[in-house]
Amino acid sequence: MFDSVTLKSWLAENEEFLIGARIQKIQQPTRREFLLTFRNRGDVRKLYININPQFFHLCFVSKENEKKRFIEIPSKPPMFCMLLRKYLENSLVAKVVQPEYERILEFYIETYNELSEKIYLCLAIELMGKHSNVILYNHDTNLILGCAHNVGAEKSREREMAGGLPYVYPKRQNDFWYVSADSISNIKGEVNSNIDNYFANLICTDKFIKLKDSYAHSVEKHLKKVCNSLDKLLKQFVISNDYDKFRLYADLIIANIYDNTDFSKEICVYDYENNKQISIPLDAALTLKENAVKYYNMYNKTKVSSKKQAEQIDRFNQEKIYLEQLLYSINNAVNMDDLNFISQEIEPDKKQLKTVKTLNLPKEIKGENYVIYIGRNNKQNDYIVSKLSKSDDLWFHTRDCAGSHVLLRSDIKDEKLISMCAKLAKEYSLGVDSSKVGIIYTFAKYLKKPPKSKLGYVTYSHEKEIIV
């Protein structure tokens, strides 16, 4: 918990550096995050301020924890950031004060106005849960120049916050508001490092969980649409795939045209292909010949339609398999790097975070005379098939179930190794908790990646199956 005692300890630890420091750079990555670069006596530090009600705190952030927080600077800074830059950049910190027992830190800045007159501004950082805010006001006039977020009369009758209004301290609260039993100041070690590490891990975990849920929801929504479209297509395909019946009806009408009369509702004929008597429904407004032409037209139309539907069904099946695999990768992601590897599949226009490693290689298991590669997402699965696999390598995958591509490279492919790879294919799949799962395997030379197919999608032949 970031309480007034923690803030007091932090200030005592860093006051010497802050007094006389120059503010070199001001950035505002998000509405509730600020990054101020201070320089003093050749030392440069970044002050990170977070006024999110869940993570309100401030500290000098290390490079490692800056990456953990995934701080991305927007190309267009917010208006409040522009205001801070106008008044504070290249200014000197005259003193830093914490009002007694308050979770407020005041930076008194020595600067000059348009008439080159020395003035003192105050940057007040209020770290008070949902009431957290950053306020810049003129110390001489006590008038607010701007706030991170304004507070109107509808939100607070006692303390409005907006440009042009006088700055007043918050009303005194109960003692527990200022001091907490689980205060970060109780942790041994440097106060700044404790704050930085604690909140960096907290923010990283929160962002990971929210992004993972967001990705899963997005893919599940898309998968549901694909499954619904596929079901409708399959029902239509069953109907339209019966096009040979229309050709047969037309042939039988022509064969029996002279034995029946025109403008009938139906005719009874012998079906020589299936050796039985059948009744063919007719349009009573048409002649027998016209009915035959009608059935030939229906045959040609449904035959073309059936072919197109078969192509659509194949495309939707590929999409379904791909999305199931993508959802499996999301649910099995353990850190932000894992999610960032698959982020462009979900958000094609989004740039990958700079913090992620450039190499995205499959997992390797090495033995005395073998190497096993396991893909953890569609990119790695595609890499295994397209780049790593050699013709005599064995490829493993669960049947009709999303999972990792497993590749075995070994001169000796005995039953023991095959069984081990089959178990790994089950372990890294949605069927991990099932009592029995079918694992197919074949040589890599029998794998084929269809043109324009989805990432990680392959067809195979000459396969064998093991039940694990």
What is the model's pLDDT at position 332? Answer: 87
Burial class (CB in 10 A: 0-12, 13-18, 19+), 247: middle
pLDDT-wise least confident of 64-68, 262-266, 351-355: 351-355
pLDDT digits (tens, 9 = 90+) for 414-438: 899 999 999 999 999 998 888 999 9
pLDDT-wise least confident of 202-206, 246-250, 384-388: 246-250
pLDDT-wise least confident of 89-98, 305-314, 363-372: 305-314
Confidence of residue 239 (pLDDT cuts 50, 70, 90): low
pLDDT digits (tens, 9 = 90+) for 331-373: 988 888 888 888 878 877 665 544 444 446 788 999 888 999 9
**In this structure, what token pair is assigned to residue 366?**
């090495």
Q: Calculate the average pLDDT of the chain.
A: 88
What is the model's pLDDT at position 377? Answer: 87
Mean pLDDT of the 237-251 span: 75
What is the model's pLDDT at position 175? Answer: 59
**Angle (deg, nearest 10), helices 336-346 and 191-240:** 40
pLDDT higher for 198 or 156? 198
pLDDT higher for 111 or 303? 111
pLDDT at 253 over 70: yes
User: Smallest Cα–Cα separation from 180: which of 291, 248, 83, 103?
Assistant: 103
Mean pLDDT of the 119-138 span: 94
Rounded to two decimals, the pTM is 0.73
Half-sphere exposure of 427 (CA within 13 A, CB side): 9
Calculate what percentage of the chain has a pLDDT beyond 90.
50
What is the model's pLDDT at position 178? Answer: 63
Calculate what percentage of the chain has a pLDDT beyond 70.
95
What is the model's pLDDT at position 187? Answer: 83
